[in-house]
Amino acid sequence: FLPGVALGALGAAWVLIRLPEGVLELSIALFVLFTCWGPALPKRALSRTGTLIAGAITTFLSSLIGASGPLVASFIKQGGGERHTKVATFAACMVAQHLTKAFIFGMAGFLFQEWLPLIVLMIGAGLIGTRLGLRFLDRVSNRHFDGLFKWALSLLALRLAWLGSASLISH
């Protein structure tokens, strides 16, 4: 996944042309809904090459519109496995993506100092959320987790579709 993350972040930094605002959001929302409710992804999509491509595409898209969570989660959901493993894999992918994007945006001139108080608050909120999430994760079964995961992703996708539609309509 990590080499794909690096490729996606570099690709997003390189892109000069942008689709109309809202198109990417709607596309991502539809992809997430498809991976939640449609047929399973083919086995080769979950291979080393498929994972590399997923890392590149999800990082590229999230660098443009910031929707990495639902994209990566919908891919990880397809991999199966135990709930703790899924959450740990998802967390590792998010750290890799965000650190890589921070590096790329820093190289492109983004000034993190101006946002430092917000960044510190977000890290603190992430730590609290992790503690609460682990308590919840220990109490829920794999079967219930999978259902809740699917519905949470679907709600995030619907919100993204709403934002994308509103953006297209307003322009």
Residue 96 has pLDDT above 70, yes or no: yes
pLDDT per position as a tens digit, 75-84? 888 877 889 9
pLDDT per position as a tens digit, 32-50? 888 888 887 777 877 888 8
Domain boundaries of the chain, sorted by first residue: 2-170
Residue 118 has pLDDT above 90, yes or no: yes
Q: How many CB atoms lie within 10 A of CB 4?
A: 24
**pLDDT value of residue 13:** 66
* DSSP codes, 21-60: TTHHHHHHHHHHHHHHHSPPPPGGGGSHHHHHHHHHHHHH
**Whole-angstrom distance, CA of residue 34 vs CA of residue 94:** 21
Could you give the residue ranges of the DSSP H alpha helices within 80-141?
83-107, 116-139
**Which band of pLDDT confidence, cut at 50, 70 and 90, is reported for residue 16?**
very low
What is the dihedral sign for C-alpha 40, 43, 48, 54?
negative
Residue 29 has pLDDT above 70, yes or no: yes
Question: What tokens does 114 get?
Answer: 């101006």
